Amino acid sequence: MNSSFLRILNDPPLDGPTNMARDEALLEAVGRGAAPPTLRLYEWAAPTVSLGYFQKIDDFDALPPPAGRLYVVRRPTGGGAILHDRELTYALALPAAHPLLAGGPNALYALVHDAVIACLNACGAGAWRGCESDGSSAARGPFFCFARRHCFDVLVDRDKIAGSAQRRTRTALLQHGSIITGSRFDQQPTAVVPWNVKEITRRLRTDLVIALSDATGLDAQAGGWTVEELSRAEELLIKYAGSVWTRRT
């Protein structure tokens, strides 16, 4: 596959298991060379909590309502839980030998988050990269990712507005993350900017593609899922909708 080409997938809002299944299907397809480097942009059909790969389901079960009564899925990536509601989520899948990964995983965090910052600031957010970590991990730290701090997180004032996580296989890397466009749940602390949520989400879908294309030098082109990718996502849906994966200990 041409490493200078970036396929863009714009998905409609989908349920949690479908979103996670599509991310993993994308990682697999890029890893075996059946799909080019791809940026997927998506939303969530209903408020959903996603657990990081290593988090305990007991911590979710102990949450009071309303968050503790939401649908829950488990991500293929690590980090803290995220309450997905009013946000734009991205997933970037690259083959392991892609030039953008030559600087290591942190270089990709920095590149993508700097593009996110440029988009947010074009909308007047005043976003910046936090540049310091609080030492949180899967074994310690707040339950919600947006209460944690990583040196590459995107902040508005001192509050987090965007964060990402990665999964690396022998053949590919998936980085996905949340860009908050509004907040209705106080249990997940996030930056709140007085935007029109639908308008800012629509604008970010366009602006982020342009910003990442400029930052990476990749030729961004709108594309579509292949039949094979969607078939694999349907197979993986059984995993992400099932209790064995979600409630694993």
Q: Tokens 């990718």, residue?
A: 229
Residue 181: phi, psi to the nearest 5?
A: -115, -10
Which candidate, 140, 21, 203, places its Cα nearest to that of 211?
Answer: 203
Task: Dig out the tokens for 48 from the structure.
Answer: 């959903």
Phi and psi dihedrals of 209, rounded to 5? Answer: -60, -45
- Cα–Cα distance for residue pair 95/5, rounded to 1 Å: 12
Rounded distance between C-alpha atoms, residue 56 and residue 139, angstroms:
10
Considering 119, 123, 131, 145, which one is annotated as catalytic? 145
Is-catalytic flag, 131?
no
Positions marked catalytic? 145
